[in-house]
Structure 1
Amino acid sequence: MTGLRLIAAGHTRALRRAVFGGDDHLDEAGRNTARTLRIPTRGPWLTAPSHAARETATLLGATPTIDPALADPDHGTWTGHTLDQINPTDLHTWLTDPDAAPHGGESHTQLLARATTWLHHQRQPSLTAVAHHLVVRALLTAALDLPATAIRRLDVAPLAVTRLTRHPDGWHLHLPQSAP
């Protein structure tokens, strides 16, 4: 059986401002909150290449390996822009059509395909992965075999911890009673 712990990277200034893409470091509150979490560091740890994911793992006491498959979504021409700087029609299309990529980057369908491929290759008995909250949402969507539209319906807060275990009938989601 494979046990997978997913951790959403901590807060960054860009995340608080709803900026698409970029590669910000954790902000002070994100660093302080990460330091308060007590997460066992057994087994391998993988992180997205982003500063926020790597810093989150390090502050949690892990020595992570970077996995490019966990990279933040590609927001194309929207990278560095806030919600109010995006054409509302394009934003609506992106939010409602999982195949749409009006920014020229990665659609939700493409992100889900990447997450599904990554999940199918995980065989370690215990693994922790730290990634952008949208990547974690895609991984959960893939694990639960939900349609790509579900990515937008799952809310994953910064530093949220979710556990998945692989069973013969597929992945099972475990929501902790309290912080692990």
Structure 2
Amino acid sequence: MTAVVRLVLLAHASTEAQRAVRFPTDEPLSRRGRRELERVVAPVADRIVAAPERRAVETAAALGTTAGVDPVLRDPALRDPALRDLDYGAWAGRAMDEVPAESLQQWLTDPHAAPHGGESIAELSERVAGWLAGLAPGRVVAVTHPAVIRAATVHALGAPPAGFWRIDVRPLAQVRLHGRGGRWSLRLG
């Protein structure tokens, strides 16, 4: 029998870029994000991994402390570059209304487009699918970004790339996936 991966994808806590509707940079959690973490119960895990950006590492460290797992801040090996946020290229740090409307529309409708010079949704999805395929069995909590969680969910469901933009991922949202033999299912509840 093939071993099971029980994966909880957890979005990082709030940042100022989210509040201001800006494309993110490598920023810390906001005061609001730190308050949000006070109310979170860490999912049960054999291991916690995080995206390398500061906002994900800070979220994972807080969860690791409450879950009894060594905080990710002290162990760089638990930071997985495959979980990094989408590369927004020239748009990083800019407010959404500062981006040319035509370029934004192209990016939102064509998963292969990268008018910002960074990573396309298709490239992100390929990276995330590769990460999912390489996960070792066990209970894993991955603290990452809304874009990564969208890509993983679309992949798990076998949905078309257009489904990416139909998934809303709020700060500290949790998506549970179970994987066995390369097949994934979404766990609700």
Task: Tell whether 2:64 aligns with 1:51.
Answer: no
TM-score (norm 2): 0.89
Task: Calculate the aligned-residue CA RMSD, in Å.
Answer: 1.3
Aligned partner (choices 21, 25, 39) of residue 22 of structure 1: 25
Per the alignment, residue 70 of structure 1 pairs with: 83
Q: Quick check: 1:12–1:52 contact (8 Å CA) kept in 2?
A: yes
Amino acid at match of 1:143: A
3-state SS of 2:18 partner: helix
Counterparts of 1:106 and 1:133, CA distance in 2: 15
Residue among 5, 8, 11 paired with 1:8: 11
Q: Where in structure 1 are there 5+ consecutive unaligned residues?
A: none
Question: How many residues are paired up?
Answer: 176
What SS is found at the alignment partner of 1:166? strand
Matches within 5 A, 1:34-49: 34-49=37-52
Provide TM-score, normalisation by structure 1.
0.93
Matched, 1:141 2:148: no
Give me the identity figure in percent.
Answer: 38
2:171 to 154, 158, 161: 158
Show CA shifts across 1:98-156 (max 9, x none).
11100010000001001100100012211110001111111111111222221111111
Distance in 2 separating the partners of 1:100 and 1:40: 35
Secondary structure, aligned partner of 1:156: coil
The amino acid that maps onto 2:165 is R
**CA–CA separation in structure 2 for the residues paired with 1:169 and 1:56:** 28
The 4+ residue runs of structure 1 with deviation greater than 3 A are none
Structure 1 residue 80, shift from structure 2 partner: 1.0
Matched, 1:105 2:113: no
